[in-house]
Amino acid sequence: MITTPCQTISDTLGDLFSCTTMDNGFTRIRTPYLYPDGEVIDLYYKVTSNNSFITDLGETIRWLYSQMVNDFLSPKQQQGIQDILLTHDVEQYRGTFMIRLRSDDSLADAITRLSQVALSVSNLWFLSKTRVISSLQDEIAELLRESRIKFEANEKLLGRSGRSWRVNFHTWHSDHSSLVQILSTGSKAAANTKANNVLAGWHDLSSLKVGSQALRFISLFDDTLDIWNMEIISQLEEFSDIAYWSDPEGFLEMLTRSDNMV
């Protein structure tokens, strides 16, 4: 009896993986893994007259480039890709990642290895993301020092749910204090994820906005790139004051003027 690739996947990997036969001769394998923005990682299996192979059809590299501000990867990211490929014994061919299967190779093992490569390579995006946010945070810290505003960076606060939230800045002024979260990303695809995380944090910390020691919440958008849409801004406006990095004076006023208190 001939066993189809889908039957093999079902028998060896279980229900978390599913597959569909495509018109171009590939079998699409839907994995349970996700790219950092929530997109599902798909792999593709094909049998030819000479061999069989499994590939991502270049989707991982395309995804990674779509998240970048610049049209190139940093040397650290490029080296990271090569290290990941070497670790999982996966080949790179013209922008695609692939594993050529011999007759005695395990399809399930190849799917698992290639899935891990796609997941690990996509996570290299955080090398760029972290650098962008860190650079902006340094600039904001310098602005606060020049303006003689006392602050603490990266403070952890406990929310009502019991979860800890790291806040970019906690500032103090003569009559009130503020919490500041930075929204900065070079990717429109990641903007919603970032905003939702800040929104969840403000909601969980909302008890800090009331009482004699009430804190002001400020969402500071890095608007140097056209990333943020009005829907995202409006959602955060329900829980926080909105500031823009293109208007540092307006941001400083929120930190120092009591008549701006909500």
Per-residue model confidence as pLDDT tens digits over 134-154: 578 888 998 999 999 999 998
Q: Is the pLDDT of residue 262 over 50?
A: no
Q: How many whole angstroms separate alpha carbon 253 and alpha carbon 244?
A: 12
* CATH architecture, range 5-123: 2-Layer Sandwich (3.30)
pLDDT tens-digit readout, 171-229? 998 878 999 999 987 666 678 878 888 999 999 999 998 877 789 999 999 887 777 88
Q: How many whole angstroms separate alpha carbon 43 and alpha carbon 11?
A: 18
pLDDT tens-digit readout, 44-69? 999 887 788 999 999 999 888 876 65
Q: How many whole angstroms separate alpha carbon 17 and alpha carbon 27?
A: 12
Q: How many whole angstroms separate alpha carbon 228 and alpha carbon 183?
A: 9
Domain definitions of the chain by residue range: 5-123, 127-260
Q: Which residue has the tokens 């760029």?
A: 128
Kind of pairing between the strands at 215-221 and 27-34: unpaired
Q: List CB contacts of 87: < 8 A, sequence separation 6 or more.
A: none
Instruction: Taking the CA atoms of 223, 228, 229 and 233 in sequence, report the sign of the dihedral they define.
Output: negative
User: One-letter amino acid identity for 183?
Assistant: L
Is 5-123's fold the same as 127-260's?
no
Whole-prediction pTM? 0.52
Q: Which residue has the tokens 């395990």?
A: 106
Count of CB atoms situated within 10 Å of the CB of 148: 7
Q: How many whole angstroms separate alpha carbon 122 and alpha carbon 56?
A: 12
Helices (H) then strands (E): counts for the chain? 8, 11
Could you confirm whether domain 127-260 is CATH 3.40.640.10?
no
Q: Is the pLDDT of residue 16 over 70?
A: yes
